Amino acid sequence: MKNLYIAEKPSVAREFAKALKINGGSKNGYIESEDSVVTWCVGHLVTMSYPEVYDPALKKWSVETLPFLPEEFKYEVIEGVSKQFDIVKGLLNREDVGCIYICTDSGREGEYIYRLVDQMAQVPDTKQKKRVWIDSQTEEEILRGIREAKDMHEYDNLSDSAYLRAKEDYLMGINFSRILTLKYSYPVKTYLNKDRCVISVGRVMTCVLGMIVRREREIRQFVKTPFYRVIGNIALADGTFEAEWKAVEGSRCYNSPLLYKENGFKEEKDAKALIEQLSADMHVTIDKVEKKKENKNAPLLYNLAELQNDCSRLFKISPDQTLQVVQELYEKKMVTYPRTDARVLSTAVSKEIYKNISGLRNIPAMKEFAQHILDSGSYKGIAKTRYVNDKQITDHYAIIPTGQGLNAFGGLHDTAKKVYEVIVRRFLSIFYPPAVYQKLGLTLDRGGEKLFANFKVLVDPGYLPITNYSFGKQKDKEDEEGKYSKEMVEAAMQLKKGIQLSVNGFDIKEGETSPPKRYSSGTLILAMENAGQLIEDEELRAHIKGSGIGTSATRAEIIKKLVNNKYLDLNKKTQIITPTLMGEMIHDVVAFSIQSLLNPELTASWEKGLSYVAEGSITKEEYMEKLEKFIRQRTDAVKGLNNQYQLRAYFDYAAQFYKKPTTKKKTKK
């Protein structure tokens, strides 16, 4: 009997054949030797059928046929890949095939791809089916995955969640898009001077659209507020340092209505009045000195969202482009599986991590760092650090370099080389000590009013040298070294309570409140990961628990779809995302009809529910019951609405910020 190995793509199948030393002839759609056969899908071979397959009458959209909730779902082979499906079907059902090794991507979508094929090909359960789960495409990892392959049915819960995710997107997309189009397409298309308009909505993409529109409206409605800060220029060591006045307890201005906040006045005249008071004596006395050392650890490793955010910021490429690049690196065996949410390593991997480090000695820019790690043995204690945590890993650990496949490095395009460098430097940094800063805080007293100054000096760079990318230094934002001279800092460190210092003068620094920032493609990915909140602090993000909006495998595609639908604009140079007029109008239609689709927390809860199914905490039947109830209630509610006329005012509000749609000219026949 022969073993059959089925991969997701031809390129992956070739890697399996190579690892297994299958030297048999390559045939049309598969590779075969005396004891093994390797074949492949080409992504999805099977898809869900359209409603008209259930009933031809459903091809016409009508309110009466909604909601559409079939008791049993129908599937069909995708027309363009039917030839490969027939090849795969024939191989799966061959009598001389005894064991089937499922080698599709190790994740929910890869599981779904094979299960659909297995279902459509009607592969008998008498055949042994084993699931191969790998984190990279190196020969060593492929052979380990085959050796440790588990029975397919151990992944049934994951399969259930995959089917449910597809059914959820299918049912919400069909029912909500049809009912909203039937009810609201006329006011939208007439306003935009279009011949037709399909209102396309979905569980994830409509929620993301809502995030963008809300942010844009927050920016529009924001009113800048000026404020005025008082800064003292304090003499020290042949120079001056800045100390900022604050209205802390004991100040004559404490809790004053004249203040914008404790360090700023609403009006310049009040700041000038304070300076006049302070200038009566041009000396200050040191009231308090606080010294402490602060360690800054290397950041956690990359998951896909973090990598997409950094690549958007550093290279101005979209999340979709980042995923394409890192997928290419994965298929060249250079990095581990990219579609991961984890930012840590597993205990098992940490025990063998020296192999990954050793291979990086062949990269000139990384050679010195990798060699130092190996010589110092710093990798040996990594399992006891925050960078290793089995509880924070579901399907895959973080994206790291394998240390292999480096013969392909020279052939990479420029962006791929840079993305690989970013991954490598982040990986190596975790084996270095933290950067150490000496912090000094001074509280200065002038007649009961307090001024505050802070110094922060880098004492030990620790891991920071590794972050100096070849394409430009990654400046540590917290490194204030260079703001003051070495002599100034040394003098400041010697200051003690009670010492009196001279004031060279006081200045007013005018500032103004800033509106929220627009999302970039990268920060939007992070906001999706954190259920609609843009959490820029990396440490805080690391502690956020629970599912976000969409998954690491789907977020980039969702953004791309919204752009292709012309609901969002993506500036390719800056990667800044803004809504289009149509996008705002679709948002308002949803807000008037199925507002819950715009709720990030609710959308994230659906994703969390799918993870519960994958864990076995709830059954697929329980989830499906909840889903059908949600769709039925929302669809029936829209049927009863009669509020189209109210939308005109909202459309008018949005339209004032866009170029007015032009009326179509009739062409002469």
| Residues paired with residue 510 on neighbouring β-strands, in sequence order | 228
Q: Report how far apart, in Å, the C-alpha atoms of 232 and of each of 181, 283, 505 are.
A: 62, 10, 6
Nearest in space to 389 (alpha carbons), one of 338, 424, 433, 344: 344
SS3 content of the chain, % helix, strand, coil (to 5): 45, 20, 35
Q: Which amino acid is at 543?
A: H
Distance, first Cα to last Cα, the chain? 70
- In sequence order, what E strands does 433-473 have? 435-446, 449-460, 468-469, 472-473
Nearest in space to 653 (alpha carbons), one of 222, 220, 223, 224: 220
Q: Do 135 and 38 touch, CB atoms closer than 8 A? A: no
Instruction: Exactly one of 330, 337, 437, 484 is catalytic; name it.
Output: 337
- What span, in angstroms and rounded, lies between the C-alpha atoms of 36 and 21? 10
Give the Cβ contact number of residue 59 at 10 Å.
10
> Is the bond leading into 67 cis (omega within 30 degrees of zero)?
yes
Nearest in space to 35 (alpha carbons), one of 3, 83, 63, 72: 3
- What span, in angstroms and rounded, lies between the C-alpha atoms of 631 and 179? 11
- In sequence order, what E strands does 306-375 have? none
Q: Do 319 and 522 touch, CB atoms closer than 8 A? A: yes
- What span, in angstroms and rounded, lies between the C-alpha atoms of 400 and 392? 16
Question: 477 burial class (0-12, 13-18, 19+ CB within 10 angstroms)?
Answer: exposed
- What span, in angstroms and rounded, lies between the C-alpha atoms of 4 and 6? 6
Nearest in space to 322 (alpha carbons), one of 416, 409, 411: 416
Active site residue 337: yes
Q: Which residues, including other chains, have CB under 8 Å from residue 561's CB and lie 6 or more apart?
A: 205
| Residues paired with residue 261 on neighbouring β-strands, in sequence order | 264
Nearest in space to 224 (alpha carbons), one of 514, 497, 453: 514
The helix-helix angle for 319-331 and 555-564 (nearest 10°) equals 130
The helix-helix angle for 581-593 and 644-655 (nearest 10°) equals 150
In this structure, the strands spanning 97-103 and 226-236 are: unpaired
Host H or E run for residue 294? strand 283-296
Q: Which amino acid is at 300?
A: L
Q: Do 646 and 592 touch, CB atoms closer than 8 A? A: yes
What amino acid positions are annotated as catalytic residues? 337
